[in-house]
């Protein structure tokens, strides 16, 4: 305290390259020197009061604005100016004067604390100039790169816009073509349909005739078999030997039951056997065929079972019916396959029933079918082309709609990805798309956010990108990532961190944010180096 009298200091100021000693109270910047006139009453800079000059820097706060103590810590709101010759001058809060911590590189803030400060201004100055120079070089080169990027983006944009225009023209043509082909297809399908129906009808009729004939043959055969005594009549007792015909399935075929089957007659001849055959043909077992392994009730159950199961398992049924539909529609195409597949997969009755496939189409019908199929193929191809064209246009339009910066300088980042590998993770930044994190040694990828918006400060929103709505966190928010952009020659992710749970921070250098170098003086030097 005792040494805290008014202290006038010798200060070196850099002005026009020549150090000049200017006397003024400690902590006063050169610009404010006129307010501190020695041996004249001092008026607080806020004008609140006037005090004798010996109360300036007397380590007691007299002015509310702290202006009477620029060189002591007495005022809570004061500030101290250090000249920092060789480096940058700065203001520090008064509370940092003589607090034992070296704040000013010229050591002037610690004049009475016992802190051992060294004047580091020269070093800092050199270092800063070095850094500034490097920065300037980077900025300059980056800025040049940026110009190229802008140029490329401009070209690219024009190209793309041209392409979109072209494509939209082509699209119109394609649309017309699709419509034309649709008409062709529909025109070709009508006769095809009619011809197919004709063919099918004829085939059904033919099939019915064949079936009838087969039944008759079977009936005759059965008659012969049943007529054990070969008297040309089938009697009640002859029929009774076929236990499988038991109508109530109680295990015994009674005489009454047989009479019922025979329509009350005692015996029938070949002509009247027809009505009896109708009653028994479903159950009748030919004696020449070996006995079915499972008697009585098993066969119907085997048939039923899949039906019951279908209720609980809809998918197999769907599959089956679908295939059946296909069979009907595309019989020709899949005929061969069907033959191989049907015996195992399909219900056996259908294929075994007749043992014959539909007859091939007659040449006229086949011609109509071929013509229609070609029209269908052509139509579908054109439709597909139109869809693809639409996708392309949409993609380009989406790209064109992005805010790639005032001069579209960020365009080149689009559809690119940049990775940074840390000790644990691989981070991946795909600008305008998403940010993700993947464990280095296996494990699934985590979404750290998808493109949200530019969210830099008001004066330049293009310094920060925000990616949002990533994978959710337990008891927390969805992951999000803030990407800070700094000027650099290269486009690289330089660091990642997670300052707050699930809120990531990424630093990213790109020439696209390099500002035009302010100091033109440096340019010639730069050129020399280049």
Binding site for other proteins (CB under 8 A): 1, 58-60, 73-74, 76, 93, 95-96, 99-101, 113, 423, 473-477, 497-503
Sign of CA dihedral 283, 289, 291, 293: negative
Q: Which is nearer to other proteins, 162 or 476 (CB)?
A: 476
- We find the least distance from the C-beta atom of residue 166 to other proteins, in angstroms, to be 50
Q: Which is nearer to other proteins, 145 or 502 (CB)?
A: 502
- We find the least distance from the C-beta atom of residue 496 to other proteins, in angstroms, to be 12
Are residues 419 and 476 in contact, defined by beta-carbon separation less than 8 angstroms?
no
Q: Which is nearer to other proteins, 251 or 499 (CB)?
A: 499
- We find the least distance from the C-beta atom of residue 93 to other proteins, in angstroms, to be 6
Sign of CA dihedral 466, 469, 471, 476: positive
- We find the least distance from the C-beta atom of residue 490 to other proteins, in angstroms, to be 22
- We find the least distance from the C-beta atom of residue 179 to other proteins, in angstroms, to be 53
Report the alpha-carbon distance of residue 486 to residue 285 in Å, rounded.
Answer: 92
Q: Residues 260, 261, 266, CA angle at the centre, nearest 5°? A: 75
Look at residue 491 and give its three-state secondary structure: coil
- We find the least distance from the C-beta atom of residue 165 to other proteins, in angstroms, to be 48
- We find the least distance from the C-beta atom of residue 1 to other proteins, in angstroms, to be 5
CB count within 10 Å of CB 503 equals: 17
Report the alpha-carbon distance of residue 34 to residue 32 in Å, rounded.
Answer: 6
Look at residue 234 and give its three-state secondary structure: strand
Q: Which is nearer to other proteins, 46 or 498 (CB)?
A: 498
DSSP 8-class letter at 289: S
- We find the least distance from the C-beta atom of residue 494 to other proteins, in angstroms, to be 13
Are residues 463 and 457 in contact, defined by beta-carbon separation less than 8 angstroms?
yes
Residue 289 tokens, joined: 């065929």
- We find the least distance from the C-beta atom of residue 38 to other proteins, in angstroms, to be 21
Q: Which is nearer to other proteins, 113 or 147 (CB)?
A: 113
Q: Helices (DSSP H) in 227-272: which residue ranges? A: 236-240, 255-261
Q: Which is nearer to other proteins, 58 or 227 (CB)?
A: 58
- We find the least distance from the C-beta atom of residue 501 to other proteins, in angstroms, to be 5
- We find the least distance from the C-beta atom of residue 500 to other proteins, in angstroms, to be 4
Report the alpha-carbon distance of residue 223 to residue 276 in Å, rounded.
Answer: 10
Residue with tokens 């200017």: 22
Sequential DSSP letters for 320-372: HHHHHHHHHHSHHHHHHHHHHHHHHHS-HHHHHHH--PPPPPPHHHHHHHHHH
Q: Which of 82, 83, 54, 48 is nearest to 69 (CA)?
A: 54
Q: How far is CA 3 from CA 7, 36, 113, 245, in A?
A: 9, 20, 12, 133
Look at residue 249 and give its three-state secondary structure: coil
Q: Which is nearer to other proteins, 58 or 338 (CB)?
A: 58
Q: Helices (DSSP H) in 55-120: which residue ranges? A: none
Q: Which is nearer to other proteins, 421 or 497 (CB)?
A: 497
Q: Which of 293, 231, 292, 240 is nearest to 262 (CA)?
A: 240
Backbone angles phi, psi at 93, to 5 degrees: -60, 145
- We find the least distance from the C-beta atom of residue 498 to other proteins, in angstroms, to be 7
Q: Which is nearer to other proteins, 58 or 246 (CB)?
A: 58
Q: How far is CA 273 from the centre of its chain?
A: 75
Query: With b meaning 16 or more CB within 10 Å and e meaning fewer, what string describes 300-318?
Result: eeeeeeeeeeeeeeeeeee
Are residues 236 and 268 in contact, defined by beta-carbon separation less than 8 angstroms?
no
Q: Which is nearer to other proteins, 108 or 496 (CB)?
A: 496
- We find the least distance from the C-beta atom of residue 26 to other proteins, in angstroms, to be 17
Sign of CA dihedral 421, 426, 427, 428: positive
Q: Which is nearer to other proteins, 69 or 141 (CB)?
A: 69
Q: Which is nearer to other proteins, 114 or 314 (CB)?
A: 114
Q: Which is nearer to other proteins, 73 or 226 (CB)?
A: 73
């Amino acid at each position: 305290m005792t040494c805290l009298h008014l202290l006038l200091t010798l200060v070196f100021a850099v002005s026009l390259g020549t150090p000049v000693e200017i006397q003024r109270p400690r902590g006063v910047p050169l610009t404010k020197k006129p307010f501190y006139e020695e041996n004249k009453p001092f008026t607080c800079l806020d004008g609140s009061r006037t005090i004798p000059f010996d109360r300036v820097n007397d380590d007691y706060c007299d002015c509310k604005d702290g202006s009477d103590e620029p060189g002591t810590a007495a005022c809570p709101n004061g500030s101290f100016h250090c000249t920092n010759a060789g480096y940058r001058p700065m203001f520090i809060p008064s509370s940092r004067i003589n607090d034992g911590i070296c704040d000013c590189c010229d050591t002037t803030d610690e004049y009475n604390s016992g802190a051992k400060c060294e004047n580091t201004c020269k070093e800092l100055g050199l270092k800063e100039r070095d850094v500034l120079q490097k920065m300037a070089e980077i900025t300059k080169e980056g800025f040049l790169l940026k110009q190229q990027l802008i140029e490329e983006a401009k070209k690219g944009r024009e190209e793309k816009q041209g392409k979109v225009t072209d494509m939209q023209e082509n699209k119109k043509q394609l649309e017309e073509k699709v419509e034309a082909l649709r008409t062709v297809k529909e025109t070709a399908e009508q006769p095809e349909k009619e011809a197919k129906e004709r063919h099918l009808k004829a085939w059904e009729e033919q099939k019915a005739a064949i079936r009838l004939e087969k039944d008759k043959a079977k009936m005759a055969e059965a008659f012969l078999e049943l007529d054990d005594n070969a008297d040309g009549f089938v009697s009640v007792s002859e029929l009774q030997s076929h236990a499988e015909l038991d109508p109530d399935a109680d295990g015994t075929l009674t005489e009454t039951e047989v009479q019922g089957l025979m329509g009350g007659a005692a015996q029938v001849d070949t002509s009247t056997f027809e009505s009896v055959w109708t009653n028994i043909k479903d159950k009748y077992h030919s004696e020449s065929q070996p006995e079915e392994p499972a008697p009585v009730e098993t066969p119907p159950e085997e048939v039923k079972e899949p039906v019951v199961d279908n209720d609980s398992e809809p998918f197999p049924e769907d599959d089956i019916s679908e295939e059946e539909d296909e069979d009907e529609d595309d019989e020709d195409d899949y005929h061969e396959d069907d033959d191989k597949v049907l015996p195992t997969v399909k219900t056996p009755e259908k294929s075994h029933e007749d043992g014959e496939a539909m007859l091939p189409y007659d040449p006229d019908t086949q011609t109509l079918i071929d013509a229609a199929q070609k029209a269908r193929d052509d139509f579908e191809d054109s439709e597909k082309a139109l869809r693809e064209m639409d996708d392309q246009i949409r993609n380009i339009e989406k790209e064109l709609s992005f805010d790639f910066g005032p001069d579209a300088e960020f365009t080149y980042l689009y559809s690119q990805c940049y990775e940074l590998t840390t000790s644990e993770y691989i981070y991946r930044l795909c600008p305008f798309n998403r940010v993700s994190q993947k464990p280095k040694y296996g494990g699934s990828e985590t979404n750290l956010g998808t493109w949200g918006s530019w969210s830099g400060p008001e004066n330049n929103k293009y310094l920060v990108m925000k990616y949002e709505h990533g994978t959710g966190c337990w008891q927390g928010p969805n992951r999000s990532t803030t990407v800070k952009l700094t000027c650099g020659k290269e486009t690289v992710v330089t660091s990642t961190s997670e300052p707050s749970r699930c809120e990531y921070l990424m630093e990213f250098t790109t020439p696209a944010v390099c500002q035009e170098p302010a100091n033109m003086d440096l340019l010639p030097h730069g050129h020399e180096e280049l």
